[in-house]
Structure formats: C-alpha cells, structure tokens
C-alpha cells in the first residue's frame, strides 16, 4: 500500500500543477469535444458524397444526346382559306326621306311590312300647302290678266303710231311734227316691253304654282321600291323640318331573299381573293350552320382602322328561307386555293433550327466549374419566317437519332401544313419540330 501511494504521488502532483496553471479539463469538456469532432466528420462525409453526385450529374448531362420531337411528312389534300369578318346587308337598301316641312298626319306602314312601288307610307297635313297652291293659282291668273291688258295697250299705241305716220306722209311731213311721231313710237315700244314683262310674270307665276303643287304631291310619302320596311322613324303628329337636310323616315330593303355579306379582308390576304371564289360563313344566331356564299367584288379602295389596312369584299348570299337578317355579324372562310394529293409537311418543321452546340471545355475547364451545379440547358432555337411560296427553305430530318438538313422548295400553305414542291422529302419521313430536354424538370 505504501508502494502504491508513492506510485500515485506524481500523478497527484501533476493534477495540482494543472489546476494551478488553469489547464485542467473536466470530464464534460472532454465529452463535448468528442461530439464536435464526430459532427464535423459526418458533415465532411455528406459534402464528399454531394460533390461526387454533382460530378456524375454534370458528366451525364454533357454526354446526353438531345431528344427531338418529330412529325411525319404525308400526302393529302391542302385547302387554303382566308378568314374575314363583316356584316350582312340587303342587296338594295333605300332610305326614304321627305323634302317638305310639315306635321305628320298619318303613318300607313309599320316594321316588317311588305310594300309595293307607289304605296303610301305616310301623309303630311297639307292644309298650308293647299293654301299656298291656291295663292299661286291666283297669282298666275293675275299675271295672265296683266298680259291681256298690256296687249291691249300695245294694240292702242300701235294704231296711234300708224295713224300719225300716215298723216305725216300725206301732208308731206308737215303734220304731225317729228316730236309727236317720236313720242308715239316710244309709247309703242314701251307697250311691247310691258307685254313681254307680263308674259314673263305669267311664266313665273306658273312655275310657282307648279312648285307648290309638287310640294303638295310630296306631302304624300310613297315607296320607291318593292321591299320590306326595316326602319320606321316617324310617328303621327310629329313635326318635320326639311330646311337643310331631308329627314329619313323609313328604311326599305328591296329583297331579303338575296343579300350581300360585306367583309374586311386583310391586306396580307387580299392578293389571294378573287371574284367567283366560293366561301362559307357562320353567324351567332345559327352556330351549328354554315351558309354558302360567292365572292362578287373585291374593292380597290382601302380602309385603315387603328393602323390595320383592309379591303372591302362583297359576297353574294342566297337567303331564300329568310333565316339571315340585315346587320348580322358573320365570319367567312373564303376558299382561295385547293391542292389535291400534295406532299405536306408541318409548318413547325420549317421554323425549327437545331440547338447550337456549346464547348465542353468552357464548362469543365476548372474544378469549380465541375463542382458548381448548373441549371438544365434548354434547346436554343431560331425561328424563321413563315413559308414563302416558291422560295428555298430547309427542314431537319431525324435519321439514326441525328438531325440532317434537307433543302426544299415550298408551295401553298394553310398556316398549319405546307406543300412541298421539290426536295428530298418522302411521305413518312420524320421531320424535327422541337427539342425535348430530358433533364428539364416540370
């Protein structure tokens, strides 16, 4: 026991020294240090595994080939349509107005009434016009009476002048005097002038009477065509003033069994639209029905609305069943071209360009570049213009997983499919339309 005490004595001395220097460690402190080292060791292992996974992921991404989306070329019929909107209108629409002022005494027709040429539509109160006509008749009678009076004066002055001239001749120029002859001659000429003036007054009075009678006739409003009343804008008792502009009282449509569809064709499509082409159109009133039509006229006059230039195009429409009504909004599809048994390719293939290849060295030139994660690379595509008829284009065909360029010449297109006029394209050939990135996440 004494030996053991001596053996432990140095350790006791060392503990006393450590305590004196402040270097003594407790059991709790040693345990804390051990846990800290274990934590750092686990974190280092996780980082190592993550770096290895990133290196494998980057290597896989660099080595993965692009995945292409394709559609096949095929043979079929190609129909090229031009779509335009517009409104239905009668072939002949007439606005019936009035040229005289007055109070409406009666209205003889109503909306949707069928009318004939010359049928009375409305009447004005003609009491004032009749009074004016009587006054004009009286004025004409007075003018005619004045003509008779002036003619009598002319006869009298003519007789007097002839008598004085005969007397002057018989007396050898002594009687009457020259002054008396000149006075008689002047009176005769004044009588002639007054007769002409009175006759002119008769013509004026006759014209005034005729004008009044015309106004009296126009006070009865009659239909100028056979048709249907579309609009009635007058009521009995209404006062009409036609001093500057004739008020429109009725709107008549000549024949609703034959109508016109006026559509606005865009300037980019107007070159394809021609007279005689067939079309179909629909209206909101009958969404499940298509109506036939035919292009009758493509007008040269342009109209610009909000910067968009269009050309008015008129289509003839058969409306025998009277299902269509004036003013309906219609959407027309005009058949401008039809190609049978054509070699067709999707327009998406004409717009496709393979993605540009990136240099792998720029991605892996440093350890940092290898370690840093990169987002999935999307396919870079260049979009070309829409197919140009007859122009040289190119598409990309998929052969053995690789994209191969094929030069072609295109023809007609309907916006979805395009006709191939020439080129190494065969039906069933897979044409690339897009790139699908297999590493992209949704």
Among 31-40, 118-127, 207-216, 275-284, name the one with the lowest average pLDDT.
Answer: 31-40
Beta carbons of 411 and 390 less than 8 angstroms apart: yes
**CB neighbours of 109 closer than 8 A, spacing ≥ 6?**
115, 119, 121, 122, 229, 232, 250
pLDDT at 365 over 50: no
End position of a domain, from candidates 294, 314, 338: 338
Identify whether 176 is preceded by a cis peptide bond (ω within 30 of 0). yes
Residues 131 and 203 in one domain: yes
Beta carbons of 108 and 122 less than 8 angstroms apart: yes
Q: Is residue 196 part of a domain?
A: yes
Q: Is residue 405 part of a domain?
A: yes
Residues 105 and 240 in one domain: yes
Among 188-202, 335-349, 378-392, 399-413, name the one with the lowest average pLDDT.
Answer: 378-392
Beta carbons of 314 and 296 less than 8 angstroms apart: yes
Residues 361 and 430 in one domain: yes
Q: Is residue 441 part of a domain?
A: no
Q: Is residue 121 part of a domain?
A: no
Beta carbons of 147 and 199 less than 8 angstroms apart: yes
Question: Each residue of 12-44: pLDDT tens digit?
Answer: 454 555 555 444 455 556 566 666 666 666 676
Beta carbons of 102 and 124 less than 8 angstroms apart: yes
Residues 424 and 373 in one domain: yes
- The residue count for the chain: 442
Please give the residue range of the domain that contains residue 245. 96-116+222-251
Query: Token digits for 66?
Result: 């692009």
- Mean of per-residue pLDDT scores for the chain: 83
Query: Token digits for 122?
Result: 């409305």
Residues 367 and 430 in one domain: yes
Query: Token digits for 279?
Result: 């079309």
Residues 396 and 334 in one domain: no
State what percent of residues in the chain have pLDDT above 70. 76
Residues 226 and 111 in one domain: yes
* Number of domain units in the chain: 5
């Amino acid at each position: 026991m004494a030996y053991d005490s001596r053996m432990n004595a140095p350790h006791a001395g060392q503990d006393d020294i450590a305590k004196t220097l402040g270097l003594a460690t407790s059991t709790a402190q040693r345990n804390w240090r051990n846990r800290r080292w274990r934590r750092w060791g686990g974190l280092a292992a996780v980082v190592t595994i993550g770096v290895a996974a990133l290196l494998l992921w980057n290597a896989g991404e660099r080595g993965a080939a692009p995945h292409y989306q394709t559609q096949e070329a095929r043979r079929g019929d190609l129909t090229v349509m031009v779509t335009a909107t517009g409104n239905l209108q009668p072939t002949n629409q007439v606005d019936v107005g009035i040229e005289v002022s007055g109070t409406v005494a009666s209205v003889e027709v109503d909306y949707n009434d069928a009318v004939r040429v010359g049928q009375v539509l409305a009447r004005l109160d003609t009491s004032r016009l009749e009074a004016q006509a009587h006054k004009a008749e009286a004025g004409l009678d007075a003018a005619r009476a004045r003509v008779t009076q002036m003619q009598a004066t002319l006869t009298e002055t003519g007789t007097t002048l002839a008598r004085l001239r005969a007397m002057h001749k018989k007396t050898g120029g002594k009687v009457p005097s020259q002054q008396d002859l000149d006075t008689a001659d002047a009176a005769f000429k004044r009588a002639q002038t007054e007769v002409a003036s009175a006759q002119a007054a008769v013509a004026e009075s006759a014209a005034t009477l005729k004008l009044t009678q015309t106004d009296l006739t126009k006070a009865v409003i009659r239909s100028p065509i056979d048709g249907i009343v579309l609009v009635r804008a007058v009521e009995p008792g209404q006062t009409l003033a036609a001093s500057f502009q004739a008020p429109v009282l009725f709107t008549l449509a000549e024949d609703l069994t034959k109508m016109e569809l006026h559509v606005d064709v865009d300037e980019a499509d107007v070159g394809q639209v021609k007279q005689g082409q067939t079309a179909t159109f629909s209206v909101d009133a009958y969404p499940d029905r298509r109506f036939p039509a035919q292009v009758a006229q493509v007008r040269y006059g342009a109209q610009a609305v909000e910067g968009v230039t269009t050309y008015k195009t008129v289509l003839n429409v058969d409306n025998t069943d009277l299902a269509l009504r004036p003013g309906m909004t219609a959407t027309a599809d005009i058949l401008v071209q039809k190609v049978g048994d054509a070699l067709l390719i999707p327009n998406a293939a004409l717009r496709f360009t393979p993605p540009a290849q990136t240099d792998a060295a720029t991605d892996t030139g440093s350890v940092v570049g290898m370690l840093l994660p990169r987002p999935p690379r999307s396919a870079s595509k260049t979009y070309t213009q829409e197919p140009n008829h007859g122009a040289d284009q190119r598409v990309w065909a998929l052969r053995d997983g690789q994209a191969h360029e094929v030069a072609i010449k295109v023809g007609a297109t309907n916006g979805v499919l395009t006709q191939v006029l020439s080129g190494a394209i065969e039906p069933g050939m897979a044409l690339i339309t897009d790139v699908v990135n297999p590493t992209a996440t949704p």
